[in-house]
Amino acid sequence: MSDKIPLAGVIGSPISHSKSPQLHRHWLKTLGLRGDYIPMDVSAQDLETVLRTLPKAGFVGVNITIPHKEAALEIADLVTDRATLIGAANTLIFRKDGQIHADNTDGYGFIENLKAGAPNWQPHVGPATVLGAGGAARAVIASLLDAGAPEILLTNRTRVRAEKLADDFGKKVSVVDWVQAGNILEDSALVANTTSLGMIGKPAMRIPLDGLRRDTLVTDLVYTPLKTDLLAAAEAAGCVTVDGLGMLLHQAVPAFERWFGHRPAVDSAARAAALR
């Protein structure tokens, strides 16, 4: 057994808001494993140097967050198919041969969270509406199509960004104008907010929500607050709702397992640790 304590961490800028350190440290402690998980604020110009140096200091991998997800994919030597499809990396594994392996587990986390929070949800039953066309939307769309969603209605404040995404994913994704967003909710089996609207410190979600049907599953990637205005309105309309914290937890599972060799549990203790 090596004397080196295996280290992992998360790289972004800023990074102090990240909930990942307390989550991974909780799992290390619960599983009785040696290791640590460290938040690192790194500038774009230093990213590659830092990534090439960390393995020499005992790092087995890192998570990557805003604004470095696309750059990390470019730097990596090996890339999974799903990271290529999403066009961004959120997980890096530092291999023993010195190569950096990039993956993206955001879409996996999104789907696992829905499966856990809404066990009766069937991805193929009807159209999914995706609000937003940023990096998170890419992961959500890729994973929904992979899970069997028949159609995705995509709407974003900046329409051209949604059109670019729709072009990248093909015929099953169609773009709806942002001002029409309220009108497509009643046709949706799933509504997923991937914008930052409704997050503490960001503008409120102003889309009219009275079209929500009670058999629609509604999820919000925003998890501060846990119950966003969108989820509260959906609950009031009788919809099943799933909050965004579970996505954060589930996306972390494959990374932790690869770095530390044990699969951690997504349970109430892990949720509490992430919220601490």
Q: Is 92 in the site for ligand NAP (CB under 6 A)?
A: no
Of 125 and 232, which CB lies nearer to ligand NAP in the complex structure? 232
Q: Is 134 in the site for ligand NAP (CB under 6 A)?
A: yes
Residue 190: strand, helix, or coil: strand
Q: Is 203 in the site for ligand NAP (CB under 6 A)?
A: yes
User: Binders of ligand NAP among 257-276, rule CB under 6 A?
Assistant: none
Of 34 and 202, which CB lies nearer to ligand NAP in the complex structure? 202
Q: Which of 161, 164, 227, 258: binder of ligand NAP (CB under 6 A)? A: 161
Minimum separation from the CB atom of position 139 to ligand NAP (A): 7
Catalytic (active site) residue 115: no
Token readout for 193 is 């907010």
Name the residue among 37, 102, 38 with its Cα closest to residue 69: 102
The CB density around residue 60, as the number of other CB atoms within 10 Å, is: 22
Token readout for 56 is 């020499």
Minimum separation from the CB atom of position 120 to ligand NAP (A): 22
Alpha helices in the chain, H assignment, sequence order: 20-30, 47-53, 69-75, 81-86, 106-117, 135-147, 159-169, 181-184, 229-236, 245-260, 268-275
Q: Is 157 in the site for ligand NAP (CB under 6 A)?
A: yes
The residue range among 1-9, 16-24, 155-163, 234-242 that interacts with ligand NAP, by the rule CB under 6 A, is 155-163
Q: Is 195 in the site for ligand NAP (CB under 6 A)?
A: yes
Cα 147 to Cα 104, 112, 115, 125, 253, distances in angstroms: 16, 11, 11, 11, 19
- Catalytic residues, which ones? 69
